[in-house]
Amino acid sequence: MPKTSQAAGLHRASLDKLHDLDAALELMYYGWRGMTLEADDYLARQGLSRPHHRILYVVARRPDIAIGALIEILGISKQALNRPLNLLLERKLLTSKRSPEQHRSKLLRLTVAGQRIEQKASDHERKVMRAAFDRAGVSGAAAWMAVMEAIADNN
């Protein structure tokens, strides 16, 4: 587990631009860091990290999700899921129970404590996004979403 880290500021470096899109590449990098910095810091103070948050985030939005479906969404192996998932269960941030009829699969759910941590961590990220969107206005926010969708769906 990470110690109470201090989230190195890491100011954006000013590099010469060899291409006109270099600024965009760097903004994607620093944007991701900027959005997740405070959330990661909060999570570290709880003895958790990004993979734990991803699990909590998905389960919050898919109550009673089975483990297999969670693996699918997260895109990792069950062995990789195992450790962070067990920690969350031990800490009672998640519960798992077998459903009455489909007794083969386990259904995951957040506890109240799990909901609190998921919400606080995601709030840190949403706060950053909200501040940026407020500055950009409604049309700027919509344009940002449209560009990000085009990038995300590039596959």
Give residues in contact with its own copies (CB under 8 A).
Answer: 8-13, 15-19, 21-25, 27-28, 30-35, 37-38, 58, 60-62, 72-73, 75, 122, 125-126, 128-133, 135-136, 139-141, 143-155
Catalogue the long-range contacts made by 100-104 (C-beta closer than 8 Å, 24 or more residues apart): none
Residue 95 engages DNA in binding (rule: CB under 7 A)? no
Q: Which region, judged by CB under 7 A, interacts with DNA, from 11-19, 101-109, 112-120, 139-147?
A: 101-109
Least Cβ distance, residue 89 to DNA (angstroms): 8
Helix, strand, coil share (%) of the chain residues, nearest 5:
65, 10, 30
**Residue 81 forms beta bridges with which residues?**
none
**Cβ-based nearer residue to DNA, 104 or 135:** 104
Q: Which of 51, 56, 93, 94 binds DNA (CB under 7 A)?
A: 51
